[in-house]
């Protein structure tokens, strides 16, 4: 839906009015909406414009909440035009992976509202958590845990936007890797005394994203004659994903599986490794957990999205849905 504009003739040139004010009791006051009477009908000819520049790093920035508060005091229902600029060197991040976006336009905005976003910094979802390594006991070898979903960078909530992203970045969070499967070894038939050797799976790496995504812990090993837990994975950060930890008894030929590496920006995490070794009588092995899916670069929620620049790789990483 197009927003109405008002023009005035200034020195023979028609110029668009971006802000309208009226003089009330000797004081000029901004108007939320301006109407003129045309053929006996009042028609909307101007809408308010809010200009916001983000100059410092932010976490889970909700545009609607900002507009409702000081100094804007928007009423939440009037159609507005928002000029939102993110300065170079500024990161808008998220403390939560999954559907919680780094930059959220907010729910409940009126139809016809338009956001003109100029991104010179980075909008980045949080990386998904790495899956834990499978645990092991005598006669039990559990599968590795599944990696968490990467977080969304920008969520529009049905609000129309035009985005200039030529010198900026919009990155979905990477998915967490899957944990490695565990191994449980039983002594060979006829061997005395009977022995058990549990080996935990390696923890997975966290996906790339803001606020250091969680790494998966190494799988425990207990109840056996020798117990070898898996190693933890590494957390993911804004610059890259974390790697997976080794399984217990690494690098021998019967061991827990290695945890999967976390996903790159907007990409899925790697599947964890199934426990390594040929099964004998009384042996058990767990499979690796699946990697978490990558986070969206943009979730439109049915809105119209227009990119002036930077609407593809490498400025934009992750899906637009």
Burial zone of 247 (CB within 10 Å; 0-12 exposed, 13-18 middle, 19+ buried) = buried
| Nearest residue to 220 (alpha-carbon basis) of 201, 207, 205 | 201
Q: What is the pLDDT of residues 125-149, one digit of tens each?
A: 999 999 999 999 999 999 999 999 9
1 confidence band (pLDDT: 50, 70, 90): very low
| Sequence ranges of the domains in the chain | 6-127+151-171+303-317
pLDDT the model gives residue 239: 95
Separation CA 196–CA 69 (nearest Å): 64
46: Cβ contacts below 8 Å, ≥ 6 apart: 4, 5, 6, 17, 20, 31, 33, 34
Higher pLDDT, 4 or 318: 318
Q: What is the pLDDT of residues 24-69, one digit of tens each?
A: 888 887 666 677 777 888 876 668 899 999 999 999 999 999 999 9
Contact between residue 301 and residue 157 where contact means Cβ atoms under 8 Å apart = yes
Separation CA 272–CA 260 (nearest Å): 4
Q: In the block, which residue shows the tokens 């559907």?
A: 99
Contact between residue 101 and residue 159 where contact means Cβ atoms under 8 Å apart = no
23 pLDDT more than 90: no
Q: What is the mean pLDDT of residues 290-309?
A: 97
Lowest mean pLDDT among 28-37, 84-93, 109-118, 177-186: 28-37
Question: Which tokens sit at 117?
Answer: 């976003």
Contact between residue 315 and residue 165 where contact means Cβ atoms under 8 Å apart = yes
Name 62's bridge partners.
104
237 pLDDT more than 60: yes
Burial zone of 223 (CB within 10 Å; 0-12 exposed, 13-18 middle, 19+ buried) = middle
pLDDT the model gives residue 192: 63
CA of residue 306 relative to chain centroid, distance: 21
pLDDT the model gives residue 2: 39
pLDDT the model gives residue 144: 98
Lowest mean pLDDT among 9-13, 76-80, 227-231, 304-308: 9-13
Q: For 63, phi and psi rounded to 5 degrees?
A: -65, -40
pLDDT the model gives residue 191: 67
Q: What is the pLDDT of residues 188-197, one digit of tens each?
A: 666 667 789 9
ω into residue 27 within 30 of 0, thus cis? no
Contact between residue 292 and residue 239 where contact means Cβ atoms under 8 Å apart = no
Separation CA 108–CA 158 (nearest Å): 9
């Amino acid at each position: 839906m197009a927003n109405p504009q008002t023009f005035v003739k200034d020195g023979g040139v028609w110029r668009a009015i971006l802000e309208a004010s009226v003089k009330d009791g000797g004081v000029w006051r901004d108007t939320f909406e301006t109407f003129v009477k045309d053929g006996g009908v009042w028609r909307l000819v101007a809408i308010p414009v809010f200009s916001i520049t983000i100059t410092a790093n932010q976490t889970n920035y909700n545009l609607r909440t900002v507009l409702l508060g000081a100094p804007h005091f928007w009423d939440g229902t009037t159609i507005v035009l928002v000029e939102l600029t993110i300065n170079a060197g500024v990161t808008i991040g998220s403390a939560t992976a999954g559907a919680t976006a780094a930059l959220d336009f907010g729910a409940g905005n009126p139809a016809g509202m338009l956001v003109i976003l100029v991104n010179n910094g980075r909008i980045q979802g949080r990386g998904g958590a790495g899956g834990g390594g499978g645990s092991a006991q005598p006669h039990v070898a559990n599968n590795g845990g599944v990696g968490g979903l990467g977080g969304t960078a920008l969520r529009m909530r049905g609000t129309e936007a035009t985005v200039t992203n030529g010198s900026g970045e919009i990155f979905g969070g990477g998915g967490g890797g899957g944990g490695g499967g565990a191994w449980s070894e039983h002594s060979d038939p006829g061997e005395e005394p009977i022995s058990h050797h549990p080996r935990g799976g390696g923890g997975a790496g966290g996906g790339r994203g803001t606020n250091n995504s969680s790494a998966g812990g190494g799988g425990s090993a207990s109840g056996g004659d020798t117990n070898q837990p898996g190693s933890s994975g590494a957390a993911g950060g804004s610059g890259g994903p974390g790697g997976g930890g080794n399984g217990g008894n690494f690098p021998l030929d019967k061991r827990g599986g290695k945890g999967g590496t976390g996903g790159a920006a907007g990409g899925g995490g790697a599947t964890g490794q199934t426990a390594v070794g040929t099964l004998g009588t009384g042996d058990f092995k767990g499979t690796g957990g699946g990697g978490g899916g990558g986070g969206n670069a943009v979730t439109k929620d049915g809105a119209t999205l227009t990119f002036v620049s930077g609407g593809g790789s490498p400025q934009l990483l992750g899906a637009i849905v």
